[in-house]
Structure 1
Amino acid sequence: MALSSEEVDKLLNFFFDETNESQTFEHFLSQVSQCFPKAYNYKVGVCVYNLLYHNIITMPSQRILALTLLNEMYRGEPFVNNPFGSFIVGLCQSDSSRKNHVPPNLKISDSEKYFLSHLLVSSQVKEMLKKTPCFIIKTEFGPMADISHVQRLVEEKLDDRFVISRNHISCLVPEPATSTSVEDYEELRAAAKEILSNPSPPAMQTYKPGPIRLVPPLAVGDENMLWLELDEVKNHDFAYDYTMCMPNSNCIEAKKLINKALKGTLSLQQQQHLLSELEKDPKLVYHIDLTPAKLPDLVENNPLIAIEVLLKLMRSTHITEYFSVLVNMEMSLHSMEVVNRLTTTVDLPTEFVHLYISNCISTCETIKDRYMQNRLVRLVCVFLQSLIRNKIINVQELFIEVQAFCIEFSRIREAAALFRLLKQLELGTSDTCNVTVPRSKVMNVSW
């Protein structure tokens, strides 16, 4: 019943190919028919229907191509035999007169309605298919064609079905989007294949309420309750607020900036704008799709943003996952900067700080490049002196490990200074404020 993952991918290629905006509908239909034989019409149609229903294709040009494909795949047969006929007709209607089989979040423009309605009843279909999606979207047309006859035929066809056979809804609830722009097509493509490909596509699974009722009695007395017959129940509407959890413009803008921050350094203006939005709405940080797995990219490209995000996530139930990723990521100047700032701002769990220090020491010991090793050792030594001076760590708990590290790299000035500090602490004679470097120098060791 469903397309395979590879077939879904092929179908998505047609819709995500931007050149199809300027190609004729005829050319697009020809491409699809060459890739999928006629026997696949229903499978392709179900997939296209779900792409529309679940907001996977949202651009007007993609949408008009999809709707044209649903209609033209069954050209030559009576329209009532088109399994997607009621869906197509429903989209041409006004919002107030739509039926349940058209999701409230799926709306088409007047230009799309004009083209689609004429496609249903016009005798000049071949001429219409020589137009391009770009032309249809940008052109202002007159009123829609009269499709009342087609609509009546579709409704008569639906009336033949039992009411209880139509009380299903999709298990996936579409979320309204305030923008049709897509940041990551590969991520969207992966999601589409996940919910649409076989063997049991989630997008095609439905929810049907099962009424709980007693076994009917063999004989009905006058004093017994009346038996409720399901085929007499006409209202199977589901109550759902489609505006619930609808993202606002600030959330969308913050998501875009976070996605950019994961891939490269933000400009000063972009950083200030993102930090300002996070400051205005403390809960915004939970809606920007920054998972623990993405944290290392943010730390390396925009450490200041990473610091502020982590500070706002401190009350999250998943904060330990973020800490775990942070302390186990590859050692770098930026990761040290983030950890150092966090330790001086909030109380980090001791075990995380100790684990990070151990990982840093291990990295210095295993790196082969002598030049890079020296630089990393300098960073770690200055970092440790800062933690000791600010009394963030109890050096006695790591004394043996840190002392061995200092001895191994005693040729490096910062390691020797750290070793002297350890000895002074051991003897109880150190004034850490005098023997350590200023805090401002902690992250000034250049690569």
Structure 2
Amino acid sequence: MDKIKSLNIDCALYQTDFIRPIPKIVSSELQWNDNIYMINLQWNYTLEINQDKLSQVKEIIQKACITEINDEEKKLLFDYLSNEKDLLKNCGFTSQRLPIIIEKNQDIAHFLLIQICNLDGFEEFLEVFIQIEVTQNTLELFAHLFGELKLPQEYITQYINYCIDFCNNIKEKQQQNKLVRFVSVFIQQMLRLKAFSTKDILTDLQAFCIEFSKVGEVSKLFKLVKGQEPSTQ
């Protein structure tokens, strides 16, 4: 630099004018870019879940579809799902798995249904009862649910009708009579609890009692139905 100065060269004569666009004058009002929309954002709640617990819960529920769960696993499942509701939403319990869990582990099915009764989609699980095979386990579980949840009377009536139709469609006589006894006891229990009105399905109940009049429990049901007829007129 000192050498350049010693030559008395005017550096200003060698400056280059860079070509650039004229800047726009910014107004005082800010203009936001509205072209970016964030639609249907969903928070991934599994990020907050203890993954070790979740994997254990999923494993137990998977096992519950295959075999009876031991007391230790059952206690672990109940403790985790009772205290951490986020686990419940991601534990793998679906309406498709409900029928097999009812038969293999009725108490677990009962626990899970009570836990999810206030969640969206619970109606799907109730619909399962009027689609699957009627068994002693399903009848007992339905009675337990009625005692703990406010099931609509229309739904209860629909389920009883479904049970009657299911009995009528069984071909094997011994199996049919066995289920008829279970269904008769179940309907008597629902009547005593005033879960439904006989007038809504009186014709079907009478036909059921006449069809299976030789089955012991059915005669008791018939007497109970007849005893309620005056109050339903």
Distance 1:246 1:269 in 2: 22
C-alpha contact 1:361 1:405 (8 A) present in aligned 2 = yes
Report the CA distance between 1:280 and its aligned residue: 2.1
What's the counterpart of residue 31 of structure 2? none
Question: What is the CA distance between 1:267 and its match in structure 2?
Answer: 1.5
1:375 paired residue number = 178
Which residue of 2 is the match for residue 270 of structure 1? 73
Q: Which one of 298, 301, 307 corresponds to residue 110 of structure 2?
A: 307
Aligned to 1:344: 147
Distance 2:162 2:140 in 1: 15
User: Could you tell me which amino acid in structure 1 is paired with residue 56 of structure 2?
Assistant: E
- Counterpart of 1:254? 57
How far does residue 308 in structure 1 lie from its aligned partner after superposition?
1.0
Relative distance call for 1:327 and 1:224 in structure 2 (3 A) is same
Give secondary structure in 1 for the equivalent of 2:47: coil
Question: For the residues of structure 2 that align with 1:244 and 1:318, how far apart are their CA atoms?
Answer: 22
* Structure 1 position 424 matched with structure 2 position 215: no
Q: What corresponds to 2:85 in structure 1? A: 282
Other-structure match for 2:187: 384
The whole-number CA distance in structure 2 between the counterparts of 1:275 and 1:322 is 19
Native 8 Å contact 1:328 1:356 kept in 2: no
1:347-367 Cα deviation digits (max 9, x unpaired): 112232222211211111111
Aligned length: 195
Ranges in structure 1 where 5+ consecutive residues have no aligned partner: 1-218, 226-240, 429-447
Contact 1:327-1:353 at 8 Å conserved across structures: no
- Secondary structure of the 2:194 match is coil
In structure 2, distance between residues paired with 1:315 and 1:419: 37
Distance 1:224 1:246, change over 3 A: farther
Deviations 1:265-315, CA, capped at 9 Å, x for gaps: 112232222122222223432120111111111111111111111111111
Larger radius of gyration between Structure 1 and Structure 2: 2
The AA in structure 2 aligned to 1:314 is C
Whole-angstrom distance in 2 between the partners of 1:299 and 1:266? 12
Shift of 1:245: 4.1
1:404 aligns with 2:204: no
Match of 2:11 in 1: none
Cα displacement string for residues 167-217 of structure 1 (whole angstroms, at most 9, x for unaligned residues): xxxxxxxxxxxxxxxxxxxxxxxxxxxxxxxxxxxxxxxxxxxxxxxxxxx
SS at match of 1:244: helix
Residue aligned with 2:97, SS: helix
Q: Does the residue aligned with 1:337 lie in a helix, a strand or coil?
A: helix
Please give the alpha-carbon distance, in whole angstroms, between the structure 2 residues aligned to 1:248 and 1:288.
11
CA RMSD of aligned residues (A): 2.2
Q: Does 1:291 align with 2:101?
A: no
**Is the contact between residue 344 and residue 392 of structure 1 (CA under 8 Å) also seen in structure 2?**
no
Q: Find the residue that maps to 1:327 and give its secondary structure.
A: coil
Distance apart, 1:316 and its partner CA? 1.1
Q: Is the 8 A contact 2:198 2:229 kept in 1?
A: no
CA deviation string 1:365-397 (max 9, x = no partner): 111111001000000000000111111222221
Equivalent pair of 1:331/1:360 in contact (CA under 8 Å):
yes
Alpha-carbon distance in 2 for matches of 1:220, 1:310: 69
Quote the residue 1:354 is aligned against.
Answer: 157
User: In 2, Cα distance between the equivalents of 1:281 and 1:246?
Assistant: 9
Q: Deviations over 1:389-428 (max 9, x none)?
A: 1112222212111111111111111111100111111135
5+ residue gaps, structure 2? 1-19, 27-43
Counterpart mapping for 1:22-171 below 5 A: none
Q: Distance in 2 between matches of 1:261 and 1:333?
A: 18
Stretches of 4+ aligned residues off by more than 4 angstroms? none
Matches of 1:387 and 1:346, distance apart in 2: 14
SS of the equivalent of 1:335 reads: helix
Determine what percentage of the aligned residue pairs are the same residue: 29
**Is the CA contact 1:324–1:352 (under 8 Å) kept in the aligned structure 2?**
no
Matched to 2:119, the amino acid is: S
- Report the alpha carbon displacement of residue 224 of structure 1 after superposing the two structures with TM: 5.2
Q: Distance in 2 between matches of 1:223 and 1:285?
A: 57
The CA distance in 1 between the partners of 2:229 and 2:211, in whole Å, is: 19
Aligned partner of 1:222: which letter? P
**Quick one: which amino acid aligns to residue 225 of structure 2?**
L
The aligned residue for residue 415 of structure 1 is 218
Residue identity in the other structure for 2:58: K
Q: Deviations over 1:60-92 (max 9, x none)?
A: xxxxxxxxxxxxxxxxxxxxxxxxxxxxxxxxx
Q: Is the 8 A contact 1:333 1:379 kept in 2?
A: yes
TM-score, L = length of structure 2: 0.77
Q: Check whether the contact 1:295–1:326 (CA below 8 A) recurs between aligned residues.
A: no
Q: 1:246 to 1:279 in 2, by over 3 A?
A: closer
CA drift of 1:251 comes to 1.9
